[in-house]
Amino acid sequence: MAIVAYVLGAVVGYLLGSIPTGFLMGTARGIDIRTVGSGNIGATNVFRHLGVPAGIFVLLADAFKGWVAVILATELFYRWFVPGGGAIVREWLGIIAGLSAILGHNFTCWLHFKGGKGIATSAGVLIALVPLAFLIILGIWIIVFGITRYVSLASISGAAALPFTTWLTQGSIPMIAITAVMAALAIYKHKANIQRLLKGTEHRISLRKSVPPPAESKRVS
């Protein structure tokens, strides 16, 4: 019955991950988010073009997809199909469901298999699977973003550190291997950002509100 649980975890994980939250948010606002900015359906592009509340909602919703996929697999499907199956079975159920959710987000069947970069969804998966490793890479993300104001560079840096932080905090060989796959996928999805970073044309996020120039005073005749 473990095979049934694995397959169900993969299918449900993919379908959860494939929900195109950013695209749906844009559609609700009358905008196809794929046609503005970077064309990405992720939270960063939504934040830039639909505003902070919409961006935060998409960020949390995309993370929630990944978290729910892992929790359903390790709690519900495990109890239904392989109760007492052991820690290894439970771990692999979480891995399969989490990775499927990320693939669903990155290659959603609802948008011709073109989706986001999977950073928020990966974060939700990591919170469920390796919470200590997630806290470390979150710290790395915050530091890199704080110094550079590049969301992409912060995400790439966090992804690159992920397998090492998993090794330091958990030591599970399957988990290290799967987080290495997650990291490679995240970095691959940022290939266009890497090119722009090398060219110096990548967009920075400014935390300061732009101040409009003072109006010219009218001359009194």
In Å, what is the CA distance from 111 to each residue of 40, 53, 90, 172? 12, 24, 32, 35
> By the 8 A CB rule, do 26 and 32 touch?
yes
> By the 8 A CB rule, do 186 and 119 touch?
yes
Q: Which two tokens stand for residue 179?
A: 């987080």
Residue 28: count other Cβ atoms within 10 Å of its Cβ.
Answer: 10
DSSP assignment letter at 110: G
Please give the pLDDT value at position 212: 44
Last residue of a domain, which of 85, 115, 145?
Answer: 115
Are 198 and 170 contained in the same domain?
yes
The pLDDT-based confidence of 84 (bands split at 50, 70, 90) is confident
Are 79 and 145 contained in the same domain?
no
pLDDT tens track for 138-149 = 999 999 999 999
The pTM assigned to this predicted structure is 0.90
Please give the pLDDT value at position 127: 97
Are 103 and 144 contained in the same domain?
no
For CA atoms 166, 170, 171, 173, give the dihedral sign: negative
Are 2 and 87 contained in the same domain?
yes
Tell whether 185 is covered by a domain. yes
Helical (H) or strand (E) element with 5: helix 2-17
pLDDT tens track for 43-64 = 999 999 999 999 999 999 999 9
